[in-house]
Amino acid sequence: ELKVEQNPLFLSMQEGKNYTIYCNYSTTSDRLYWYRQDPGKSLESLFVLLSNGAVKQEGRLMASLDTKARLSTLHITAAVHDLSATYFCAVTPWNSGYSTLTFGKGTMLLVSP
């Protein structure tokens, strides 16, 4: 059974600080996705990582993938209040034909002044 673990599950940050969210998964895969969810809203795609060593950046967020370690990171640089949301990572295992997503439990990020 594929397991996807995120940590921390809750993160309270001050504006201007840096931090990293970690996503570990238990099976072979080279496809990992990061989503953002605001309260009461749907999931917004942030990054799609499709190979070992992939790195993508958008604004203050940067995601990377290490398939050998089965680890992805979401790095937050100089956090601002607008980044407050819940962040999910999700993995498609190779034996599902790269189709079904398995999600982590999410990291609730709160950025305060």
Partner 1 sequence: DAEITQSPRHKITETGRQVTLACHQTWNHNNMFWYRQDLGHGLRLIHYSYGVHDTNKGEVSDGYSVSRSNTEDLPLTLESAASSQTSVYFCASSESSSGGYTFGSGTRLTVV
Provide the binding-site residues for partner 1, judged by CB under 8 A: 31, 33, 35, 41-43, 45, 48, 50, 88, 90, 92, 98-106
Residue type, 27: T
CB of 48 to partner 1, least distance (A): 5
Closer of 35 and 109 to partner 1 (Cβ): 35
Residue 74, Ramachandran bin (φ over 0: left; ψ between -120 and 50: alpha; else beta): beta
CB 89 within 8 A of CB 43: no
Q: CB-hemisphere CA count at 13 Å for 102?
A: 20
CB of 113 to partner 1, least distance (A): 27
Closer of 68 and 99 to partner 1 (Cβ): 99
CB of 47 to partner 1, least distance (A): 9
Secondary structure (DSSP) of 51-85: STT-EEEETTEEEEEETTTTEEEEEE-S--GGG-E
Closer of 35 and 61 to partner 1 (Cβ): 35
CB of 102 to partner 1, least distance (A): 7
Closer of 84 and 96 to partner 1 (Cβ): 96
